[in-house]
Amino acid sequence: MKVSKLAQNIIGSEIIKLAAEVNEKVKQGEKIYNLTIGDFNPKEFPIPDELKQLIVDAYFANQTNYPAADGMLELRQAVSNLLKQRGGLDYKSDEILIAGGARPVIYSIFRALVDEGDTVIFAVPSWNNNHYSYLTSAKQVVIEAKADNNFMPSAADIKPHISQASLVALCSPQNPTGTVFTKEGLEEICDLILEENKKRNQDQKPVYLMYDQIYWALTLGDVKHFDPVSLRPEMKNYTVFVDGISKSLSATGVRVGWSMGPKFIIDKMKAILTHIGAWAPKAEQMATAAYLTQLDKYDAFLITQKQKISERLTGFHKGFQQLKSEGFNVDSITPQAAIYLTARFSLHGKKTANGSVLTTTKDVTKYLLDEAKLAIVPFYAFGASENSDWYRLSVGTCSVKDVDGIISNLRAALQKLS
């Protein structure tokens, strides 16, 4: 049986593979702490009650036919106001495109801006840039980001490749690391892109920037989110954003995302999505529009949302630092945003109680699952090298009481190694 070359060679999700192992253990009755998926347990992180009721009301109002191809005007206007009032960004409704979450937005950005053989620059670990590059037959320039820069790429990393690039793909707050760009770091990258575009003639495609800020509302403590257009207004001509309510409002399954950027690009993305039909459902769009006109309720929800996330992330970070102080080969990076903790398990070469050696990161991951009952995602699932000993812990599915249980399980599992 033959399929297309694209289908034949596409790589499945490493996270889904790991999830299959987890699900099998759960079926066998084991209690597993599953911190793999970047999602929310609705029992711990429900969507706002007002939004839930507005969605129900919209269905009873028969908002069940096709939405507008670029999104309902009411929602695009509400998003425009949200961006201006809370993000300091000025985008008109015709510079905004609504879609069924961030994935179709990202796909349409790649399709609109990247030709076969074009160069796309992105850092790893990062979410799915490698797969979207594959789907558009792009040439990938992969930068391995380092822990000493909180796994965020720098202008110095990008500069050697910028002259060949068509697209730079950035994300902040970052998935999987939960870290953010500093003001200076992002300014330097913007200046690099602007400098390169001044060199190009009118027949050349400029370097564009895809800026994924789907987690921007979920910064913790005094951490501040920065975006390219606010820092360098000239970047508005070259920046296409990825955004939505999936993370800020725990609404991953509601499927309302959006992009904003230059109108001529947004129009092309709209045209692409009309052939895919990846629209957010009309009822959810109308409900989200109504909810986002109540920014006082939006603000109040975010205060609680961030408190709940911070409690979990801070608890895990303190737990890892306690384990580190006890002499175990683990570490973690201070959480800054999103729902992720970056943790390190430097366990390669360690022997288990039965004498087997943890030779690879896959061995370590399996040991943590078997002995600590903890399912987490190694950074190689996000494009990093296979021997990386860093991991993503996602806290959206756990309760606060799980934190102590997980740290206790880890301590017991680590004590068995020699």
Q: For 231-265, how does the pLDDT look when each residue is reduced to its tens digit (9 = 90+)?
A: 999 999 999 999 999 999 999 999 999 999 999 99
pLDDT means per 10 residues, the chain with 418 residues, are: 91 79 87 94 98 98 98 98 98 98 98 98 96 96 96 98 98 98 98 97 95 98 98 98 98 98 98 96 98 97 98 98 98 98 98 96 96 96 95 97 98 97
Q: What is the pTM of this model?
A: 0.96
Q: Is 66-293 CATH 3.30.530.20?
A: no
Architecture (CATH level 2) of domain 5-45+300-415: Alpha-Beta Complex (3.90)
Q: For 82-127, how does the pLDDT look when each residue is reduced to its tens digit (9 = 90+)?
A: 999 999 999 999 999 999 999 999 999 999 999 999 999 999 999 9
Q: Which residues does residue 125 pair with via DSSP β-bridges, in sequence order?
A: none
Domain ranges of the chain: 5-45+300-415, 66-293
